[in-house]
Amino acid sequence: MPIDFLINVFEENKDKIAIIWKNESYSYEWLLTRLKYWDKKLNDMHVNVGDVVALIGDFTPDCITMLLSLINRSSIIVPLNSTSKMDYTEKLNISQTEKVVSVDEINEISFEQLNIKANHPFYTELRSINAPGLVLYTSGTSGSPKGAVHNFLKLLNKFKTHRKALKTVNFLMFDHWGGLNTMFHTISNGGTVLGTKDRSPDSICAFIEKHKIELLPASPTFLNLLIISGAYLRYDLSSLQLITYGTEPMPEFILKKLKNKFPTVKLQQTYGLIELGVLRSKSKSDDSLWVKVGGEGFETRVVDEILQIKADSAMLGYLNASSPFTNDGWFITGDQVEIDGEYIKILGRKSELINVGGEKVYPQEVENIILEMDNIKDVTVYGEKNAITGNIVCARVTLKQPEDKKNLASRLKKHCIGKMKGYMIPVKILIVEEMQYNERFKKIRNN
């Protein structure tokens, strides 16, 4: 069976706590019992091998065990986040979803049979070998989201190697591989998954304090909010051993602040893509953005400054877009990198590059310098068309305290002079009220 290796882990750890949700604990023995329960229920629902099933939920006990049961019967699973219902219809259509199972935060289940027959060639391929499938979606900022189809078995292979288990908050979302990767890593090593609906800084810090959480996987945006809000000062976070960050670019200034605030916690950059899975990673140091990526089942190379990856766990392809692989099987990530021996530094996506009169401007590089300034809460740098230079550099700035726009513009330009080339200094500066995390997530790598 596809998850026999997980069943063995569960059997060996029957008395240990596997999941904590809403302050209730669920043992590995409970997981085993619940898997049998869902297997019977799925039979009653007529969910068969190869059916395309959308699973809507979060990291609740029943949603996790339902996911495992669907994998075990070789279903093709489309995980969707229960908090973002706006785009369900489009994603259900792209994936040719045949059946929908919803699990809410109090573990109530609903089931719906759709009048669709999924016949995509990738599904035919999976069904021919009785393999479970997984459909994940890109963020779709340049149009419709792209549905990436995986052979789930290939993604699960990495979890057969035993590693250290930590008490982990499942911060990242249920419909992204980053969140699923965290969950599978934890339960495949007999650790404890702690799920929560409220992902605000104060709520997460209170959660860490109460349950003595050891690992916090998070996005740079959240970690920035954590520092700005001062939430980390209001709670005892001494149990934390490791903070991992990924899904979007980490500004170097924020990383250094993070290390200053958490001097005893190891900081580790992660790297993954929806099309390939999450690679093993090792940061050069806690406050460095240089990282070594790869590991068993992954090869990397850099062609014309762009990172390319070949992976055993690579997707079969997109449901609704052409193949992004080279003829020899390498995935072109679009990430422009610098190289230092075995380490790389991600400069930004090639598509984000701002061309100013033939000169390259990386938004993240400019953002890092602006974030050093007093009274700057957050910033997003972007390009606008210009008749003379082709593009100009612009910045949307969120302030900690109100400030006159002219004074801010003057301060910003003075701060940037000497720290960056003249063509990199923002020409247009806008003050906005909201934090820029929505803009930052346009750079998301969906890991």
| pLDDT at 365 (0 to 100) | 84
| pLDDT at 84 (0 to 100) | 57
CATH code at position 282: 3.40.50.12780
Q: Is the pLDDT of residue 437 over 60?
A: no
Cα(79)–Cα(94) distance, integer angstroms: 13
| pLDDT at 83 (0 to 100) | 61
Residues 177 and 262 in one domain: yes
Q: Which two tokens stand for residue 39?
A: 């297997």
Q: Is the pLDDT of residue 276 over 80?
A: yes
Final residue of a domain: which of 156, 184, 210? 156
Cβ neighbours of 4 (radius 10 Å)? 8
Q: Is the pLDDT of residue 133 over 90?
A: yes
What is the mean pLDDT of the segment spanning 100-111?
Answer: 86
Q: Is the pLDDT of residue 441 over 50?
A: no
Residues 216 and 138 in one domain: no
CATH code at position 61: 3.40.50.980
Of 329, 319, 327, nearest to 126 by C-alpha is: 319
> What is the share, in percent, of the chain residues with pLDDT greater than 90?
68
Cα(279)–Cα(294) distance, integer angstroms: 5
Bigger pLDDT: 141 vs 306: 306
Residue 14 lies in a domain: no
Say if residues 47 and 99 touch (Cβ distance below 8 Å): yes
Query: Within its chain, how far is the Cα of 45 from the centroid?
Result: 31
| pLDDT at 72 (0 to 100) | 95
Residue 438 pLDDT grade (very low, low, confident, very high; cuts 50, 70, 90)? very low
| pLDDT at 301 (0 to 100) | 94
Residue 359 pLDDT grade (very low, low, confident, very high; cuts 50, 70, 90)? confident
For the chain, the average pLDDT equals 90
pTM of structure: 0.83
For residue 134, give its domain range. 4-9+20-156
Residue the block writes with tokens 């003249």: 422
Residues 147 and 40 in one domain: yes
Q: Is the pLDDT of residue 130 over 60?
A: yes
| pLDDT at 43 (0 to 100) | 93
Q: Which two tokens stand for residue 40?
A: 């019977």
Cα(375)–Cα(370) distance, integer angstroms: 10
Q: Is the pLDDT of residue 96 over 80?
A: yes
Residue 180 lies in a domain: yes
pLDDT digits (tens, 9 = 90+) for 399-435: 989 999 999 999 999 999 989 999 999 999 999 987 6
Residue 419 lies in a domain: yes
Top mean-pLDDT range of 63-67, 245-249, 332-336: 63-67
Residue 303 lies in a domain: yes
What is the mean pLDDT of the segment spanning 114-130?
Answer: 96
| pLDDT at 447 (0 to 100) | 47
What is the mean pLDDT of the segment spanning 46-72?
Answer: 95
Top mean-pLDDT range of 25-34, 142-151, 398-407, 438-447: 25-34
Say if residues 77 and 132 touch (Cβ distance below 8 Å): yes
Residues 167 and 310 in one domain: yes
Q: Is the pLDDT of residue 12 over 90?
A: yes
Q: Which two tokens stand for residue 219?
A: 């996005």
Phi, psi dihedral angles at 384 (to 5 degrees)? -130, 145
Q: Which two tokens stand for residue 238?
A: 């001494």
Residue 438 lies in a domain: yes
Residues 318 and 192 in one domain: yes
Final residue of a domain: which of 156, 178, 202? 156
As for how many domains the chain has, the answer is 3
Residues 303 and 178 in one domain: yes
Residue 15 lies in a domain: no
pLDDT digits (tens, 9 = 90+) for 239-272: 999 999 987 778 888 899 999 999 999 999 999 9
Residues 389 and 294 in one domain: no
Residue 446 pLDDT grade (very low, low, confident, very high; cuts 50, 70, 90)? very low
Residues 223 and 303 in one domain: yes
In DSSP notation, 249-316 reads ---HHHHHHHHHH-TTSEEEE-EEETTTEEEEEEESSTT---EEEE-TTEEEEEETTEEEEEETT--S
Residue 81 pLDDT grade (very low, low, confident, very high; cuts 50, 70, 90)? confident
| pLDDT at 355 (0 to 100) | 87
Q: Is the pLDDT of residue 230 over 80?
A: yes
| pLDDT at 144 (0 to 100) | 77
Residues 367 and 284 in one domain: no
Q: Which two tokens stand for residue 237?
A: 């976070």
Residues 234 and 280 in one domain: yes
Residues 401 and 338 in one domain: no
Secondary-structure breakdown of the chain: helix, strand, coil percentages, each rounded to the nearest 5: 30, 30, 35
Length of the chain: 447
| pLDDT at 105 (0 to 100) | 77
Q: Is the pLDDT of residue 439 over 60?
A: no
In terms of Cβ atoms closer than 10 Å to its own Cβ (0-12, 13-18, 19+), residue 254 is: buried
Of 271, 272, 282, nearest to 342 by C-alpha is: 282
CATH code at position 379: 3.30.300.30
